Structure 1
Amino acid sequence: MYLNVHSQYSLRYGTMSIEKLIKEATSRGVTQMVLTDINNSTGIMEFMRACNKSGIKPIGGVEFRRNKQLLYIGVAKDKEGMKELNDFLTEHNLEQKELPDKVKPFKNAVVIYPYAGDNVTEPLGENEYLGIRYDELHSLHGKEINHIKDKLLALQPVFVADRLEYRLHEYLRGVDLNTLLTMIGPEDKCSSTDIFLPAGELEARFSKYTFILDNTRKLMDSCRMNYAEGKVHLNRKTFTGSKNDDKALLEKLAMGGLIYRYGKNNKEALKKVENELKVINDLGYCAYFLITWDIIRYSMSKGYYHVGRGSGANSAVAFCLRITDVDPLELDLYFERFLNAQRTSPPDFDIDYSWDEREDVQDYIFKRYGKDHTALLGTMSTFKDRSIIREIGKVMGLPKAEIEGFTDPAKATENRNNPTFEKINAIYEMMKEMPNQRSIHAGGVLISEEPITYYTALDLPPKGMPTVQWDMYEAEVIGYDKYDILSQRGIGHIKEAVRLVEENQQYKIDIHQVKTFMNDANLNNKLKSGNSIGCFYIESPAMRQLLTKLGCENYLTLVAASSIIRPGVAQSGMMKAYIQNFHKPDAVEYLHPVMKEQLEDTFGVMVYQEDVIKICIHYAGMDGTDADILRRGMSGKYRSKIEFNKLVEKFHEGAKALGRPQAITAEVWRQVFSFAGYSFSKAHSASFAVESYQSLHLKTYYPREFMVAVLNNYGGFYTRWLYVHELQKAGAKVHLPCVNVSTSGVSIKGNDAYLGLIGVQGLENRFIELIPDEVKRNGAFIDLEDFVKRTGMGLEQVIILIRVGALRFTGKSKKTLLWEVHMMLGGKVKPVNHAELFHLESKHYMLPELINTKLEDAYHELELLGFPLSLSMFDLLKTPYRGDVCTDNLIQYVGQTVKMVGLYVCEKTVHTKNNKKMWFGTFLDADGNFFDTTHFPNSTPTYPFRGKGCYLILGKVVEDFGFPSVEVIRFAKLPIVHNPVMD
C-alpha cells in the first residue's frame, strides 16, 4: 500500500539503502510497494532484484519535483510504463527544460497528483489519480467527491526509517542546501511521519475511507514489472543484423589480421586465433568484438592514434583486429584471463585516445548506434571522505577554526572526549558511504539492444552526452558490457610530435613500428640511464630510479618495471626483492617448488595479477572462478572487499589440503594480499610499455618536436618549466612569446621554438586566439599603435604582453613601450578596430633612453610565465657558490658527506611504518642534470621544503644498485637577488 517510497538514491534526501528499505518493509508486513526516488530511477533494477528475493512485489516509479515542489508521482504498470517514465524524465534532462505542471497521459504508467483540496479543475484521465495523505483526510469532510471518488489513492511517503534517521535527513538537507540546520524550513524537508507505519496502521488511518484503500490496492495489483529475471545480456546482440554473419565477418577479419601480424605460416598463432574465435562465438561475444573493431576502424580512418590495453590485450584476435598492439604470443598472455566459460563478469576493452580526439570517437558511437541505444556510463560518488565532517560542522554553524580542529589527526585524542565532536562523528558514521551525487564514468560507453530507457533515465552532465543514472557495478549486474573509450595526454604527445616532425623536417614517421623500436640500442640506452623525461609512464623520479637500478634495456624488463612500480608492490618489499633477484637470478631461493615452476620468469616475485592467479590455482588448488574473483577484488571492481576476504579462508584450506607447510603458506598469502587493489595485469603493463617505447623513439630522434608536443599537451608528471628546460637541452633556441610569431601553443621552426600565448599568466583567452588569427588574416603588426588598433586590447592586457617581451618586434625597450601605451590608452578611451578612411599619424614625443636589464626581464618572466627564460634560477642567486659536487660525479662520493646546490623540481611525501612523514626530493644541479634526495623524519621538521627555488643541501651520498642519491642532513633555501622592478 506504499505508493511513494524513497531510498538513498533520492540524493541528500532519503536515508535508507535499498537493503534497509526492504528490511523495514518486511518487518511491517508490506507485501508490495513502489520505489519513487526524486527525479531519478537509479535504484529501480536493484530494488526489483532485492524485492524478488524477499518475497515483496516491486513496482517501479519516479517522483517528479521542480526545485522543492512535488509535482506528481509516476508509477509504472509494467516494463513499458517504466520506459515511458524514464523517457519523460530523459527528455527534460537532455533538453534541459523544466518539468511541466501537468503531463500528457502515459499509456502504461499512471500519474498521481498530490491532492490539495479543490485542485481538480478538469476531469482526470484514465491513468491520472490524486494521492491524499492521512493527515489530509479531514479536507474531504462535507465535500462532494463522487466525481473523484475512483481517483483517490492513499499516499504515505517514506523517506526515513525512524526519528534518528529523520535527524540525519535534516543534516543531509542542510548539506544539500548549504545552510544552517536552524535555517531549514518545512518546505525543505520531509515530515517526521514519512516512515513505514506499523502493520495495519495505514489501513486504520483510512478506515473511514475504505474505497481509497481499495483504489490503491487495485492499482498496485494491476502493476507487474515484467523484466526478465536471472542473468541477461543487454548489449547489442549483433553487428551485422545476423549472428551467423557476425561469426563469418569476425573470422574473415581475424584471418586477414593474422597475416598482417604474424605472416602466412605461423601455425602457433593460427591455432590460438582459431581457439579464441570458438570461445568468442560460443559465449556470444562476436558483436562485442566487431563493434570494438568498428570503433577502431573509424578512428584510424580519421588518423587518430589509439592504444588498446587492459585484459583485452590477452587476445590474439584483438591483436589481429588492431584493437591492441600488444602481442599475446610474445608475452605468453593467456586468453582465459580475458574471456572464459567460467568468467562471472563481462570482459571489456580499454581503448585510449588523445585527450582532444576522444570526444569525436564517442560522437561517432552515438551516431552509429543510435541515441536510444547508446549512453555514457555513470558513477555514484559517496560520502566517504573525512571532509564531510567540515560539511556537518558548517551545517551546525561551527567556526572554521573549530571545524579544522576536528579534522586534524594530531588532535584525535583531544577530540575524543569533546561532546560536539562526538555528535559530528555519530552523524558522520551514519552518513559515510551514502550516495552523494551522480557523475560520469571515466570512459564507459553502453550500446544496448533495447532502448536504454527501459532500464534507466538519462542525465546530461557537463560533458554533454546522455549518461545513465547508475554505475559500472549496477550495469554489470543488470547485464551490460561496457566499452571503455578513454583519453590520456601521453597519446597526445605522440600524435602531435609525429605531426610536428612531418611539418618541421618533412619526414613521416610510422610510429607503429614498435618492434623495431624495441631493438634499437639508442632507445635502450636511454631506458638504462633513466633519460626519459616527457615519456609516457617512465618519466617520474621513482620510475627513472627503477629503470636505472634494473639497468633496463629491453621491452620485457620494462613490462615488469611498469608493474612493480605500483604502490602495493613497492610497499610490500617485493619491488626490492625483484631488483635483487634480477641481478642475481642464480641465487634466488624459491619459497616452494610451485613458486619456481610458476614464477621463474619473474625471479620468484609476483609481478602481475596473472602471477597471483597462477599461484592461487597451482599452490592453493583454487579454481578459475575463485581466481577471477580474486583478480577483480585486487583491481577494486567490487563495491566491497567481502568477496575478496572470503578467499583468504579458501586459500588456506586449499593449501592445507595439498600439504603445503603452514609458514610458507602464510608468506605466500602475504605476497598475494599485498597486491590487493594495486598490481597491473601483464597486458596493462605491456600496453604501457609499448607506448613508452613510442615516446622514447620520438624523444631520442626528434627531441625538439617531441618536447614541444609535450608542452602543447599540458605536460606530464612535471611542471611546465622543466619541459622548457628539456627543450633547451635538446638543442632548441627557446624564444619568449612574440605577438607576430607565437600561436596559442608552443611552435617550432627549425631549431627555433617560440613559447605560446597560452602560457602567459593573466592574458585573456579571447586574445590568445585573436592575436595569431589577426596575424594570419592581415599580416604582422607594424608597431604598438597598429597592434592596439587591430586587437582592441585594453591597457592592462597590453601591459602584460609588453612585460613578457611579446612586443619586442618594435625594437623598443619595455619601459619605452610602457610609457607609450600609457600615453595611448591611459585616458581610458579604447581605440576602435575598423578600417580607417584616413590614417592620421599619432603625435610622437621624445623620451629619454629607457633601458631594461636582464634581471628585470627575468623577474617579469618569473611572474608572467612562472619561470625565467632570460636568466636561469641559478643566475638569480645572491651567491656564486654552486656546490662542491655535481650529478655527473656523484657516484664517486658514495659514503661521503657532500654539499650540493640544487634547483627544486618536485617532492613526494610518504609515511613510514610508524606513520611519520618523510620526503623524497628531485633537483637539478647547475649543469641541468637531475639528482635525488631523501629526507628522513628526524630532519624534515627542522629543514622543510619551502617551495620552488634553489637549495643548499648537505647530505650523505648513498648508492642503491648503481643509483646514487643524497640522504639530507641539512637543507636550506638560498636567497635570490633583489627584484629591481620593486624599486
Structure 2
Amino acid sequence: MTQDFVHLRMHTEFSIKDGMLNPKKVVHKAIASGMKALAITDATAMFGDVIFYKAASAAGIKPILGADCSITNHYNRDDYLRLLFLARNHQGYLTLCDLLSRAWLTNQYKDRGEVDLDWITPEMADGLIVLSGFNTGAIGKAILNGSLSAAEQEALRLSQKFPHFFMELQRVGRPNDEMLVAESVKLAKKLGLPVVATQPIQFENSEDFEFHEARVAIADGFTLANKARPRIYTPQQYFRTKEEMCELFKDIPSAIENSVEIAKRCNVTIKLGKPQLPIFPTPDGMSLKDYMAQLAREGLDRRLKVLYPDEKKREAEFPRYKERLEREIKIIQDMDFPGYFLIVQDFINWAKTHGCPVGPGRGSGAGSLVAYSLGITDLDPLAYDLLFERFLNPERVSMPDFDVDFCQNNRGRVIEYVKSKYGEESVSQIATFGTMGAKGVIKDVGRVLDMSYSEADRLSRMIPTRPGHNTTLEEALSEEPQFRAEVRNNPQARKLIEYALKLEGTTRSLGIHAGGVLIAPGKLIDFCPLYAAGMLPENVISMYDKKDVEAVGLVKFDFLGLTTLTIIERALDYIEKNTGVRPDIEHMECDDEDTYKKIFQTGDTVAVFQFESPGMHKLLIDAKPTQLSDLIALNALYRPGPMDLIPDFLDIRAGRKKAEYADPRLIPILEDTAGIMVYQEQVMLVAQKIGGYSLGGADILRRAMGKKDVAEMERQSKVFIEGAAKNGVSEEVAAHLFELMRKFAGYGFNKSHAAAYSYVAYKTGWLKNYYPAEFLASSLSEVMTDPEKSLKILMDAKRHSVKLLGPDINESEFNYTSPKTMEIRMGLGALKGVGSAPAEAIKAEREQNGPFKDPFDLVKRVGSQLITKKIIQVFAMAGVFDSIEPNRRKWFENADVVVQSAQENEKAADQFSLFGEEPSNEVPIKEVAPWSDRTRMEKEQYVLGFYFSGHPLEAYQSELKRNFGALVAGTESENPGEYLVAGMYLGCEQRRGKDGSPFVTLHLATPDGPVDYSVKNQYFEQERVRIKEIPKGEIVVVELNKSHSKKSGKTWASPGAFYPLYELRHRQRAHIVIQPAEEADPKELERLILDVQMTHPEEAIRVDFEFSDDRSFRVRLPCPYKAAADWTLVRDLEDSPSIRQVEVAYGL
C-alpha cells in the first residue's frame, strides 16, 4: 500500500510572474492522486487563497494556506532569500496577512515585497509552520556556497525563532539537488530537526515545461532564445502523484511522513459569508436605526420644500411621500441595514459640501426614497415610478449596493476622507486580475518566440472582434477559415498558437478595481492581505478580488469615477469665467423646450452623455423626445434585445400604430413606453397589479425569468395565472401576459439607472445648447489622448460656429479652454508627448512674469529640464509658436540650438550673477524656408493625431471633382443612387456582424472628420493583395451605391471597388507640372532637373518644367505607378525653395 503524501509547495497562476496552475482546477488533480490535503503557496502572495479554499473545501480536500515568501537579506539585499510559511491555525492565517501586507506596503526592493524576520514575534511564529526553502533559503544557499558552519548557524537561528521549523528537501533535477539533500539531511540529524519532502510545483504535467518557460519569459521581458534569460525551473516541476513522490524519497521515508504530519497540523478556517460593516458614530449614543430614520425624515422635508415650493401643494403631496418613506425605513431597519445607508450618505454629503461633484444616482439605488431623502441620490423616485424593491427586496435578503459616481478628478479626495474617518488601516481599494486574452497572448507569445511584431500583430488581427464578447482562440480556429489555414500551413504560426492555447486565460497582471473601496470594522489585515504597487498609499489594494473580499465578510462600497461629472464641473467654471454667472445645474428642471428641440430632437448629441452614438442620433430624430421620460425610454430601448422593439415604439408614438393593452390596468404602467415593456420595473408592476404578487415577490419573479429556469418558470406561471384569476383576468390573457413578461424580463432595463443617467444626459444637452464652446472645450479636455474622439468633437464645434483656436504658447493651458464665448483654444495636453508638468509650469510662469517672447525666452524662464528639445520640436510642429513666428520649420530645426543655449546660460548663471550681469541668450540660428502646406499639415497631424489647420484632401478636391466627378466622402446625397466619393485611406478592418457574417469596414479621413463604409467581404477577398499595397494616407476614390430598404426604412451605402488616386492618375496618363521660383538658384535647379532625368520610357510619369519666361521642357520620370505609390516626387518638390508650384495635370 502506497504511503500518503501531501504537496506543501505550489505556485498557481496567482504568483503572477510564474506558475500555470488554476487554483480551482488543481484540486481535481489532488483528488485524482488520492491526496487528502493540498497547499497553495504563491510567491509572497495570497491572491488566489479564497478561490482555492472554497474549491478545496467543496471537493473534500483539506486546504492548506501559505506563501513562498521573499525574506530580506540584511547583508546583501540583491541576494534575497526565501522561506515557506504555512498557516497552522487562524492566528497563523492572520500572521500571513500581516507579514505579506507589510512586505508589499513598506518593504519592497526591486519590485519585490520582502518579509523582514525581525517583524515576527514569538506569538506570531507559533501560528506558522516554516520550511527552510531548500536551495532558495539561507541554509541551502550557505551549503551550496560550501559554508556548512554558516548553514548550521542559520538552521539554529531559524529553528529557535520558529518552533515548528522543518528542513525542506527537493529533487527536481537541478545539478546540485542530490548534494543539497544529503547535506540537509546530515545537518537536520545533527541538530535534531525534522525534514520534509516538497515538490516545487509550477505546472500540471511535465510537457507543460516549455509553455511555463514562455509564461515566465513574458513576465520578465526576455525571448526564449535569449542566453541571458534566467533558467531557474526544470521539466520535473510538475504535479507529481503521491506514488511518484514516495518513490522519489523512498530513501528518506520520514520526509514523506512529515508532509502528512504537517497537513494534519494545519487547520485554518476562513469565516465566509456574513458581511461586517464598520461602526458608524451616532450622536448621543442614538441607535443606528433611529439616527438613519431621523436623518431621512429631516431630509424628506428639505427635498419637498424644493420640489413643491407652494405650501398647499406640498401638504397635498406629503402623505404619499410619507407613506413610502416610512415603509422603506421599516424594511431597512428590519433587514439591519441602517449602518450601510448612514456610511454612504456620510461620504456623499461630505463630497457635495467639499467641491466634489456627485452623480444623481446609478443603478437600482435611485429607486429608494430614503436614499433621495438622505442625499445619496438626486432623482425623485416617485416622480418617475421607480421601485424601492428593485433595489432592496425584503423577501430576498442581500446586501444593498449603491454605485456612486464621483467626478473623476475628485474621487481620490473622497477616498482620503473615508480613510481619515475610519482609519488608514481600515480602508483600501480592491484587486483585479488581467488575464491573457486571445489577441494579447498571440502578441506575448510571438515576442518570446522572437517573431516579428508585424507578423504577430497580423495573426492577432485575424481574431474576430465582437461587441460584448471576447473571442477565444478555440472559437477563432473554429469560425475563421483564414486563421485556421494560417495555423495549418505556417509552421511558425502553428508553434505560436500551440503555446498561446496553453497560456490563454492565465493571470498576467494585477490592477485596481475601477470603483470598489473596502471599509473594514477594524484592521483590513484581520480579513485579508494587502498589496501596494510601488508602496504608494493610493495604490493599496486587497489581495483578494471583489468576490473574495465579500466572501470573507468585507463590504465593498463603489466609488466610481464618471468623467461626465468632471466635464460638467469644468464647463461651469468656463461659463462663470466668461459670463460672470454660474448656472445652478443641480436644481434645474428637465423641461427646457429649447434643449429638447435643438439638441435631442435633431440628434445634435455629439459629447452628450449616453446619446452620442450614430444609432442613437438617428433614433432621437425619429422619436422627437419632449420630456425626460422620453429620454429614459430611449436610453433603455437602445440596447441589444429591446432594440428590435424600436420600430413599434416609434410607430405608436407617431400615431401610425395603436398601442395594445391586454388589460386596462396595464395602461398607467406601460403608456410612457407606448404599451411596450421596456423596464424591469414594469415587469414587476404587471406581476403586482395583475398577478397579485408583492413587489418583493415580483422582484424574485423578475430575477427567475432573467435566469430562464424552466422548472421555476413553470411554477411561477401557475402562481401568476392563479393570482390573475383572483383579479378578474382570464387564464388565456394571464398566460399571454406571463409569456410577454418572461420575454421582456430577459432584456428589460433597470429604469432607475436609465432615469438617473438620462438626468445627467439632459444636463449635458442643456449645457451644449446654451454654452456650446464652454461645454465642448470641457469635453475635449477629457479625450485629449484620443485623436479620433477629439476630432469628432472639434468638427461638431465647427458646425456650431464655434471659433477653433490652435495651441499657443501665450494662451494655451494644459486642457482645452474657452477663452471667450463661442471660442475654443486647444490645450497643450493635446500634443503628443506633452505632459501636465511642462504645461502647468508654462502657465504658472506666464501668469507671474508675462508672455514669452520666443522659444529662447521660454526655455530660459521655465528651464531646460521641462522644456526639452523634443518639446520645442513638438510645439513647432503643432504651431504653438505661430503667434511669435509663423515659420514652424525655423524653430523645429533650431530646437537643439535653443535648448543648448539655455543649458549653457543655466550653467553660467551663478558666475554672471557675481558681477550682477545676465547671461546672454543671443546665439546665431539657422534661417530656413517654411514647410510646404502639405508638410506643415503632416507634421501637425503627427503631433495632434488629426489635421487641424487644414486637410491634405483639400489640395486634391478640384482634381478629383474635375477629372473623376468624385465628391468628398460623407458629403454625398442621402438619396439612393451611384456616387464616386474620395477620402484619405486609413485602412480596412475585417469584422463580423451580429449574425456572424464577415464584412470589412473601410476607414477614410476627410476635412469634416472620419467616414466609414462597410465593404462586401467578397470584394475585399478578391482584391486583398492589391488593397494591402495601398499605403495609409493615400487618397482613394470609392464607387458607392446607395439603396433604400423598404423593410427598415433606411438608406444603405454599399461600397464596391475603390482605387488609390495614383492608380487613377496612371490610367489617365496624368503628368507633373513644375513651376520653378523666379529666384531659383540655377545650380540647385540644374541638380533637380538632372535628378529626374532617367530612362524607363515604358512606365514613366511625364514631368513638365514651366518657367516664367515661357521656356519649358519635358522629361520622362521612370516611376511605375506601384513603385511611386504616393507620387512622392510631388511632395518632395513642394519643400524645395527652388520650386514655386507643383501640380498634377491631365491631357496633353
TM-score, length-scaled by structure 2: 0.72
Q: In 2, Cα distance between the equivalents of 1:412 and 1:353?
A: 44
CA RMSD after TM alignment: 4.9
Which residue of the partner structure matches residue 77 of structure 1? 88
The one-character-per-residue Cα deviations of 1:447-482 (angstroms, maximum 9, x if unpaired) are 112422233221213784211122222233333331
Task: Kindly report which structure 2 residues correspond to 1:223-238, keeping only aligned pairs within 5 A, or say none.
Answer: 223-228=266-271, 231-238=273-280
Which residue of the partner structure matches residue 167 of structure 2? 131
Is the contact made by 1:619 and 1:655 (CA closer than 8 Å) also made in structure 2? Answer: no
Structure 1 residues 763 and 495: CA distance shift in structure 2, 3 A:
closer
The one of 325, 329, 333 equivalent to 1:281 is 333
Is the contact made by 1:718 and 1:906 (CA closer than 8 Å) also made in structure 2? Answer: no
Which residue of the partner structure matches residue 546 of structure 2? 472
Is the contact made by 1:349 and 1:483 (CA closer than 8 Å) also made in structure 2? Answer: yes
Q: Does 1:682 align with 2:718?
A: no
* Aligned pairs, number: 962
Structure 1 residues 57 and 173: CA distance shift in structure 2, 3 A:
same
Tell me which amino acid in the other structure corresponds to 2:1135.
Answer: M
Which residue of the partner structure matches residue 640 of structure 1? none
SS in 2 for 1:372: helix
Tell me which amino acid in the other structure corresponds to 2:29.
Answer: E
Structure 1 residues 51 and 758: CA distance shift in structure 2, 3 A:
closer
The one of 37, 41, 55 equivalent to 1:36 is 41
The one-character-per-residue Cα deviations of 1:417-447 (angstroms, maximum 9, x if unpaired) are 5696777666655544343333221111111
The one of 70, 84, 102 equivalent to 1:91 is 102
Once the two structures are TM-superposed, the CA of residue 797 in structure 1 deviates from its matched residue by: 4.4
User: Which deviates more from structure 2 when the two are superposed, residues 953-962 or residues 772-781?
Assistant: 953-962
Q: In 2, Cα distance between the equivalents of 1:149 and 1:958?
A: 90
Identity level (%): 22
The structure having more radius of gyration, on CA atoms, is 2
User: Which deviates more from structure 2 when the two are superposed, residues 517-526 or residues 954-963?
Assistant: 954-963
SS in 2 for 1:512: helix
Once the two structures are TM-superposed, the CA of residue 78 in structure 1 deviates from its matched residue by: 2.0
Task: Kindly report which structure 2 residues correspond to 1:330-349, keeping only aligned pairs within 5 A, or say none.
Answer: 330-343=383-396, 345-349=398-402
The one of 626, 631, 639 equivalent to 1:558 is 631
Structure 1 residues 660 and 769: CA distance shift in structure 2, 3 A:
same
Structure 1 residues 417 and 670: CA distance shift in structure 2, 3 A:
farther
Q: Does 1:64 align with 2:69?
A: yes
Which residue of the partner structure matches residue 958 of structure 2? 879
Which residue of the partner structure matches residue 851 of structure 2? 780
Q: In 2, Cα distance between the equivalents of 1:444 and 1:140?
A: 50
Q: Does 1:982 align with 2:1124?
A: no
Once the two structures are TM-superposed, the CA of residue 498 in structure 1 deviates from its matched residue by: 0.6
Which residue of the partner structure matches residue 324 of structure 1? 377
Tell me which amino acid in the other structure corresponds to 1:112.
Answer: L
Q: Does 1:258 align with 2:300?
A: yes
Is the contact made by 1:378 and 1:440 (CA closer than 8 Å) also made in structure 2? Answer: yes
Which residue of the partner structure matches residue 519 of structure 2? 447
Unaligned runs of 5+ residues in structure 1 are 635-643
Q: In 2, Cα distance between the equivalents of 1:36 and 1:848?
A: 67
Structure 1 residues 226 and 912: CA distance shift in structure 2, 3 A:
closer
Once the two structures are TM-superposed, the CA of residue 598 in structure 1 deviates from its matched residue by: 6.6
User: Which deviates more from structure 2 when the two are superposed, residues 851-860 or residues 277-286?
Assistant: 851-860
Q: Does 1:188 align with 2:232?
A: yes
User: Which deviates more from structure 2 when the two are superposed, residues 440-449 or residues 97-106?
Assistant: 97-106
SS in 2 for 1:30: coil
Structure 1 residues 240 and 832: CA distance shift in structure 2, 3 A:
same
Q: Does 1:967 align with 2:967?
A: no
Q: Does 1:110 align with 2:129?
A: yes
Is the contact made by 2:282 and 2:288 (CA closer than 8 Å) also made in structure 1? Answer: yes
Is the contact made by 2:596 and 2:625 (CA closer than 8 Å) also made in structure 1? Answer: no
The one of 917, 927, 932 equivalent to 2:999 is 917
Task: Kindly report which structure 2 residues correspond to 1:527-542, keeping only aligned pairs within 5 A, or say none.
Answer: 527-542=600-615
Is the contact made by 2:394 and 2:696 (CA closer than 8 Å) also made in structure 1? Answer: no
Q: In 2, Cα distance between the equivalents of 1:485 and 1:2?
A: 41
Structure 1 residues 243 and 799: CA distance shift in structure 2, 3 A:
same
User: Which deviates more from structure 2 when the two are superposed, residues 325-334 or residues 616-625?
Assistant: 616-625
Once the two structures are TM-superposed, the CA of residue 383 in structure 1 deviates from its matched residue by: 3.4
Q: Does 1:295 align with 2:347?
A: yes
Tell me which amino acid in the other structure corresponds to 1:542.
Answer: G
The one of 429, 433, 441 equivalent to 1:376 is 429
Q: Does 1:509 align with 2:588?
A: no
Tell me which amino acid in the other structure corresponds to 1:87.
Answer: D
Q: In 2, Cα distance between the equivalents of 1:817 and 1:272?
A: 69
SS in 2 for 1:58: strand
Tell me which amino acid in the other structure corresponds to 1:698.
Answer: L
Q: In 1, Cα distance between the equivalents of 2:61 and 2:381?
A: 49
Once the two structures are TM-superposed, the CA of residue 528 in structure 1 deviates from its matched residue by: 0.5
Task: Kindly report which structure 2 residues correspond to 1:379-390, keeping only aligned pairs within 5 A, or say none.
Answer: 379-390=432-443
Q: Does 1:461 align with 2:533?
A: yes
Q: In 1, Cα distance between the equivalents of 2:939 and 2:370?
A: 57
Is the contact made by 1:494 and 1:695 (CA closer than 8 Å) also made in structure 2? Answer: yes
The one-character-per-residue Cα deviations of 1:494-529 (angstroms, maximum 9, x if unpaired) are 010111111111002111124x23344334442110
Which residue of the partner structure matches residue 809 of structure 2? 739
Is the contact made by 1:41 and 1:457 (CA closer than 8 Å) also made in structure 2? Answer: yes
Tell me which amino acid in the other structure corresponds to 1:245.
Answer: S
The one-character-per-residue Cα deviations of 1:70-107 (angstroms, maximum 9, x if unpaired) are 71111222222212111111112122524258563534
Which residue of the partner structure matches residue 641 of structure 1? none
Structure 1 residues 742 and 394: CA distance shift in structure 2, 3 A:
closer
Q: In 1, Cα distance between the equivalents of 2:89 and 2:624?
A: 65
SS in 1 for 2:392: coil
Once the two structures are TM-superposed, the CA of residue 187 in structure 1 deviates from its matched residue by: 5.3
Which residue of the partner structure matches residue 1081 of structure 2? none
Unaligned runs of 5+ residues in structure 2 are 1-5, 72-77, 135-139, 172-177, 306-313, 463-479, 722-730, 1063-1125, 1137-1148
Is the contact made by 1:814 and 1:852 (CA closer than 8 Å) also made in structure 2? Answer: yes
TM-score, length-scaled by structure 1: 0.83
SS in 2 for 1:290: helix
SS in 1 for 2:559: strand
Is the contact made by 1:736 and 1:755 (CA closer than 8 Å) also made in structure 2? Answer: yes
Q: Does 1:956 align with 2:1047?
A: no
User: Which deviates more from structure 2 when the two are superposed, residues 115-124 or residues 437-446?
Assistant: 115-124
Once the two structures are TM-superposed, the CA of residue 223 in structure 1 deviates from its matched residue by: 3.7
Q: In 2, Cα distance between the equivalents of 1:205 and 1:800?
A: 65
Q: In 2, Cα distance between the equivalents of 1:309 and 1:588?
A: 30
SS in 1 for 2:514: strand
Q: In 1, Cα distance between the equivalents of 2:846 and 2:295?
A: 49
The one-character-per-residue Cα deviations of 1:872-931 (angstroms, maximum 9, x if unpaired) are 66754441859999999999x74455677789999996625251215598998x8x7999
Which residue of the partner structure matches residue 413 of structure 2? 360
Structure 1 residues 34 and 688: CA distance shift in structure 2, 3 A:
same
Is the contact made by 1:530 and 1:547 (CA closer than 8 Å) also made in structure 2? Answer: yes
Q: Does 1:691 align with 2:799?
A: no
Tell me which amino acid in the other structure corresponds to 1:296.
Answer: I
Q: In 2, Cα distance between the equivalents of 1:603 and 1:799?
A: 59
Structure 1 residues 80 and 801: CA distance shift in structure 2, 3 A:
same
Is the contact made by 1:907 and 1:922 (CA closer than 8 Å) also made in structure 2? Answer: no
Is the contact made by 1:855 and 1:980 (CA closer than 8 Å) also made in structure 2? Answer: no
Q: In 1, Cα distance between the equivalents of 2:697 and 2:506?
A: 30
Structure 1 residues 261 and 862: CA distance shift in structure 2, 3 A:
same
Q: In 2, Cα distance between the equivalents of 1:931 and 1:146?
A: 79
Is the contact made by 2:166 and 2:193 (CA closer than 8 Å) also made in structure 1? Answer: no
